Amino acid sequence: MPDGPGDGEPTVKRFRAWIVLAAAVVAIPSWLAGQEDVASAPQTVFFKANAHYHDSAYDQAVRDYELLLNSGIDSGNLYFNLGNAYFKLGDVGRAIANYERAWREIPADPDLAANLTYARSLTGAETCEVPLWQRSAFPLRGRMSSTSLLWVVCVLWTLTFVALGVHRLAPLQRSFLYSACGFALLTLIATLSLGAQLAVDVWPQRAVVVGVGEAAARFEPAEDGTVHFSLPEGTKVEVTEEREGWLQVSRCDGRRGWVPSTALITL
């Protein structure tokens, strides 16, 4: 007997349900496998992203680099490559933001310094000039990552007490006393540099202007607020307050203004 009109509709629904189920069975394991790839073999994903970059498929490279970052991996070189990919896509603001993130990990990298300088020169983004007294008082600030600087402090700290202990047990060896004084001085310099780096560069919340052109910083968090100053794309600012989709940012010269949060990427 032929199926009546009322029997065909449940059949179609059941057919659709089976298709959805089959797709889920196929897609979920492959998605899980992808997550597993990122977590278990990040180098593979990294090399694949590099290959996309090499083939000028910058958007795919960005996607893979972001995938690695979303999996919880942190690497200066990863941020560097992501910045390059954004730069090639024409998004100089996001490129500078990722260069700034990379700077926290590999501040002494000359390639990073070159790319950051070049990108800033294209947008006109200004950087804060470090005063001479700060460069003199904190000579190691910005020369290495905070973690590396902390290990340097630990090593110098240990060497200071080792030299003091040896001098105590062998008082006639005065060279150990001089060594202890030298290590103590170096420990002080490294500690001050670390403190300055954390207080100025790491702990304050920073953001970078993204988008096309300049972002207007206004006197109040409203579209009709009077424009106080303009921030070129790629300018790094300090975030001082947040309010309903607006961020109050502070420029190098201390001037403050409200910028829509969509125009900024926090670091």
> Could you tell me which stretch among 21-29, 115-123, 210-218, 233-241 binds other proteins (CB under 8 A)?
115-123
Q: Quick check: 31 binds other proteins (CB under 8 A)? A: no
Strands lying side by side in the sheet with 256-260 = 227-232, 214-218, 256-260, 246-250, 236-243, 206-209, 264-266
CA dist 95 to 12, 77, 173, 237, Å? 50, 13, 56, 15
The single residue among 57, 60, 143, 146 that binds other proteins, judged by CB under 8 A, is 146
Q: How far apart are CA 79 and CA 239, in angstroms?
A: 21
Least Å distance, CB 180 to other proteins, is 10
> Taking CB under 8 A as the rule, does residue 173 contact other proteins?
no
Contact 252, 130 (CB under 8 A): no
* Only segment of 29-37, 133-141, 144-152, 210-218 that touches other proteins (CB under 8 A): 144-152
Q: Is 71 exposed, middle or buried (0-12, 13-18, 19+ CB in 10 A)?
A: middle
What is the closest distance, in whole angstroms, from the C-beta atom of residue 35 to other proteins in the complex? 16
Instruction: Confirm or reject binding of residue 81 to other proteins (CB under 8 A).
Output: yes
Residue whose CB is less far from other proteins, 30 or 44: 44
Residue located via tokens 């942190």: 74
Contacts with other proteins by CB under 8 A lie at 42-43, 46, 50, 53, 69, 72-78, 80-81, 84-85, 87, 105-106, 111, 114-115, 118-119, 145-147, 150-151, 153-154, 157-158, 160-162, 164-165, 168-169
